[in-house]
Amino acid sequence: MRCENYPKLPFYDELIDEHGVPRPTAKALCAHLEAQSAEELRARREAIDAAIMTMGISFTVYSDAGNIDRAWPFDLIPRIVPESEWKLIDAGLKQRLRALNMFIEDIYNEQDIIREGVFPAEVLEGSANYLTACEGMKLRYGAWAHICGTDLVRGGDGVMYVLEDNLRVPSGVSYMLENRGLMKRLLPEIFADQTILPLDDYTTRLYEMLASLCPRETDRPVIVVLTPGVYNSAYFEHSYLAQQMGAYLVEGTDLSVGSDDVVTMRTVVGPRRVDVIYRRVDDKFIDPEVFHKDSVLGVPGLIRAWRAGKVAIANAPGSGVADDKIVYTYVPDMIRFYLNEEPILPNVPSYLCMREEDREYVLAHLDELVVKPANESGGYGMLIGPKATEAERAEFAKLIIAEPRNYMAQPMLALSTVPTLIGDELSPRHVDLRPFILQGKEMSVTTGGLTRVAMREGSIVVNSSQGGGSKDTWIVKEDV
């Protein structure tokens, strides 16, 4: 197909090199696409759209006009990562999460990293995600953030950078798994020609990781997925994961904590003890006894039960302290401090507005930088300097001066592209990549991850809440 017409842009493309030639691991895919007519491709895409509707793979968009359940947008051209590169990424992700978990435990206990002058105490003082309720807690395997979704982006220089670590309630893994299912169902012939590493075992590993946290000696721990309910934007994922693991999907009102600090769920035969909670409810809502008094999503007494060691919670409360765009800038230092290793995956160069020198640079270069608030996620509340108006930049300058701790800035990245089917043609669209890393008794990383794609031409906003789509991600063995 149209690979030779594929536009050459000044970005790194994941499938096509700068001469317009498919990269070695993309050759088989491009040859296959070459052989398809526009009608055939269109038919495939319609089949995929119909399958997504039937399977009810959806997410909810919140808007003023009400909440809309939208079909999951999926592009059938996959993103390909060579296996040799993936091995390095895999090692880098594990290294990073290991250091982050050591950091969280240290922060709630001895605070060696602050005493040694590696991490400034004032960053912690301004942290909205630091929970005093976690002080003095030591967790099994030293694991706090048991499930981490790390966002990776490739810059114009071809280097893979870590953009952020999602340590609170990272979502997207179900879409990654469903994307692969769709590709195998609707384009089975592509899988025959080459070795694409499988990714089916994520939910098994997730189950085993959660089971490894069980505070009781038992063969069959009771594991539940705690969801805010059917109106949450990620509800599809919550039910999907519960279904795949054979776990109970519960809401806050299904659980209660007794005076013995044991957590039980309300069943038709009466209360039953719960051992492990995979919670998909934010920290601030999980226990109205401790946090938001008016939360109906949480369970009164849950923190008490957790502190008493009667129940395990993944991710542990308070893990969000390391999921903050300011703390992020210190992760390379954490890796050196705790592991005595050099970081395998680099951070995106960042400017901290709390540092006077950096702040002045940021304020003088707002038209070149992306400014992010410390604690927002989902692409909300950030400024993309080069695309913003003069008035928007002036507004942000005020925000930064008022609350410098709350902002950091990064150069506008020339995000890499992947060919994407727009109409009948392949057009480059910017992508990121979110692999998922598990840490319990053992560590593991998904084979690949969720590739999110900005469907609008030139856009770098990949969040599904803001018009992003997704692609299947292939880790492909190179020929030797």
Partner 1 sequence: MLARVAENLYWMGRQLERAENTARLVNATTQVLLDSPAGIELGWDELTRVMGFPNVNPSSSGVTETEVVRLLLLDQDNPGSIVVSLRHARENARSLREVLPREVWEQLNNLHLRAPALMTAALDRSRRHAALREVVDARLLLAGLLNETMSHDAAFQFLRMGALLERADMTSRIVDISSAVACTAPGGLGMETTWISILKALSAFQMYRRHKDVRVSPKPVVNFLFSDPRFPRAIRYCLDSVESILAELPAPADPLRATRQAARLLSKVEHSLELNDGLPVLIDEVQQRLCEVHNAIHEHYFAKPKSEAPEQAQTQSMADV
For position 274 contacting partner 1 by CB under 8 A, the verdict is no
Nearest to partner 1 of 249, 418 (CB atom): 249
Task: Indicate which single residue of 123, 131, 187, 249 sits in contact with partner 1 (rule: CB under 8 A).
Answer: 249
For position 111 contacting partner 1 by CB under 8 A, the verdict is no
Task: Indicate which single residue of 13, 14, 165, 251 sits in contact with partner 1 (rule: CB under 8 A).
Answer: 251
Stretch that binds partner 1, among 195-203, 251-259, 300-308, 469-477 (CB under 8 A): 251-259
For position 247 contacting partner 1 by CB under 8 A, the verdict is yes
Stretch that binds partner 1, among 16-24, 86-94, 249-257, 389-397 (CB under 8 A): 249-257
Nearest to partner 1 of 152, 173 (CB atom): 173
Nearest to partner 1 of 269, 480 (CB atom): 269
Task: Indicate which single residue of 194, 239, 375, 465 sits in contact with partner 1 (rule: CB under 8 A).
Answer: 239
Stretch that binds partner 1, among 37-45, 252-260, 275-283, 376-384 (CB under 8 A): 252-260
For position 74 contacting partner 1 by CB under 8 A, the verdict is no
Nearest to partner 1 of 256, 444 (CB atom): 256
For position 195 contacting partner 1 by CB under 8 A, the verdict is no
For position 250 contacting partner 1 by CB under 8 A, the verdict is yes
Kindly state the smallest distance separating residue 240's Cβ from partner 1, in Å. 7
Stretch that binds partner 1, among 28-36, 138-146, 244-252, 402-410 (CB under 8 A): 244-252
Kindly state the smallest distance separating residue 122's Cβ from partner 1, in Å. 44
Task: Indicate which single residue of 17, 243, 364, 442 sits in contact with partner 1 (rule: CB under 8 A).
Answer: 243
Cα–Cα distance measured from residue 193 to residue 37, given in angstroms and rounded to the nearest whole number? 19
Task: Indicate which single residue of 103, 202, 240, 291 sits in contact with partner 1 (rule: CB under 8 A).
Answer: 240
Kindly state the smallest distance separating residue 29's Cβ from partner 1, in Å. 29
For position 253 contacting partner 1 by CB under 8 A, the verdict is yes
- Map the footprint of partner 1 across residues 29-58, applying CB under 8 A: 53-56
Contact residues: partner 1, CB under 8 A: 53-56, 225, 230, 235, 239-240, 242-243, 246-251, 253-254, 256, 265-269
